[in-house]
Amino acid sequence: MFENSGRTELSDLGEFEFISHITSNFNKFVQAATIKGVGDDAAVLDTGSNGLHTIISTDMMTEGVHFDLSYMPLKHLGYKTIAVNLSDICAMNAIPTQVLVSIGISNRFSLEAVEELYEGIRYACEEYKVDLVGGDTVSSKAGLVISVTAIGQASPESITYRNGAKEHDLICVSGDLGAAFVGLKYLEREKRIFLENPEIQPDLVGHDYVVERQLKPHARLDVIKALSHAGIVPTSMIDISDGLTSELMHLGSQSHKGMTIYEDKLPIDPVAYQDCIDIGLEATMCALNGGEDYELLFTIPQSDFDKVRNLENVSIIGHVTEDEGKYVMISKQQNEYKLEAQGWKHL
């Protein structure tokens, strides 16, 4: 039973403390098939299917909080809702197989608008070879709400949780960081200009890469397949939705370890780097705290160094330490800076 007295604001807790609090009375599984519940990118069930475990994740996106339809095309939104949910399955080192999509929608949307949304969903399902197998539709008075449940499969020995990082493990990240946040800033800038003067049309010429990274992120199924082909099973893994620093802290806290990364190892796309300069942002801060990259952050044993160093789209950015709770970055000038999570806050 909860024993709160008075009123506690949700914003005082933050997303993960809030989740931990409301699920604290559900810490015993009554079903033998339940292997992993709350606390990772996805739940894990032993359904006895061909020796594989079933991986399940669900996520919700609400208009005005997670997306702005003034610059987010519905087709892109449909694609993004699938990709970001499949990213959670990939973060368990698993292969996504099915999705269910539920929407809450108001009468301000026409049939043609909903068709655009589902066209993006269909495109993503085709790209990642997953099946849309169900969902629900309800009326909404608070704008568009989309909830996606993603399902995947993995062998028990390949599933990767957040809590397995070991001292001296190498910290790796896929792709590049910060571009999605920069793209968001350009979109928000053009929206402000348009609201001030509707006769001025948005000008995003030359910023295609960062804008696409915001509007059309990709689940890194290719990286999961590359790791498998190389014979690498990460010791811990998470996808980067709330910013690199925040995700490093999740891996560190659940593994009871510290994390040291190096500024000169952070993968920042040259185009995104120049866009940061043009819009007045600091590229390293965007990479550390921007969020919505949906890249994979993972740790591997040092013995896998030769296997990982030649993989495309994977960078080694640091190492795991025994200093639990210590998260630092070594700057290009070899100074040590304490990392502070400044990414997306859900509550």
Q: Does 324 score more than 70 pLDDT?
A: yes
Q: What is the pLDDT of residue 116?
A: 98
Measured from the Cβ of residue 147, the count of other Cβ atoms closer than 10 Å reads 18
Q: Which of 54-58, 141-145, 198-202, 306-310 has the lowest mean pLDDT?
A: 198-202
| Domain(s) of CATH 3.30.1330.10: residues in the chain | 10-154
Helix (H) or strand (E) segment spanning residue 211: helix 208-215
Distances (CA, A) of 323 to 164, 221, 259: 15, 32, 8
Q: What is the pLDDT of residue 30?
A: 67
Q: Catalogue the E-assigned strands of the chain.
A: 34-36, 43-49, 52-62, 95-105, 131-139, 145-154, 170-174, 236-239, 258-262, 296-300, 314-321, 327-330, 336-338
Can you name the CATH fold of 170-338?
Answer: Phosphoribosyl-aminoimidazole Synthetase; Chain A, domain 2 (3.90.650)
Q: Does 52 score more than 90 pLDDT?
A: yes
Q: What is the pLDDT of residue 22?
A: 62
Band of residue 160 on the pLDDT scale cut at 50, 70, 90: very high
Mean pLDDT of the chain: 92
| Whole-number percent of the chain with pLDDT over 70 | 92
**Which residue has better confidence, 326 or 39?**
326
Q: What is the pLDDT of residue 39?
A: 79
Q: Which of 117-131, 135-149, 332-346 has the lowest mean pLDDT?
A: 332-346
Q: Which of 55-64, 158-167, 190-199 has the lowest mean pLDDT?
A: 190-199
Distances (CA, A) of 179 to 186, 208, 226, 295: 11, 11, 23, 11
| Domain(s) of CATH 3.90.650.10: residues in the chain | 170-338
Q: Does 80 score more than 50 pLDDT?
A: yes
Measure the CA–CA gap between 70 and 189, rounded to whole angstroms. Answer: 12
Measure the CA–CA gap between 170 and 235, rounded to whole angstroms. Answer: 10
Taking only the tens place, the pLDDT of each residue in 169-194 is: 999 999 999 999 999 999 999 999 98
Q: What is the pLDDT of residue 142?
A: 79
**Which residue has better confidence, 346 or 319?**
319
Taking only the tens place, the pLDDT of each residue in 198-209 is: 888 778 889 999
DSSP annotation string for 263-322: GGGS---HHHHHHHHHHT--HHHHHHH------EEEEE-GGGHHHHTT-TTEEEEEEEES
The whole-number average pLDDT for the span 18-42 is 74
Taking only the tens place, the pLDDT of each residue in 278-318 is: 999 999 999 999 999 999 999 999 999 999 998 999 999 99
Q: What is the pLDDT of residue 137?
A: 93
Can you name the CATH fold of 10-154?
Answer: 60s Ribosomal Protein L30; Chain: A; (3.30.1330)
| Whole-number percent of the chain with pLDDT over 90 | 79
The whole-number average pLDDT for the span 61-78 is 94
CA dihedral 70, 75, 77, 80 (to 10 degrees): -150
DSSP annotation string for 156-196: TTT---TT---TTPEEEEES-SSHHHHHHHHHHHHHHHHHH
Q: Does 345 score more than 60 pLDDT?
A: no
263 and 178 Cβ atoms separated by less than 8 Å: no
299 and 208 Cβ atoms separated by less than 8 Å: no
Q: Would you state the structure tokens that stand for residue 43, as one six-digit string?
A: 């739940």
275 and 344 Cβ atoms separated by less than 8 Å: no
Q: What is the pLDDT of residue 347?
A: 45
Q: What is the pLDDT of residue 172?
A: 98
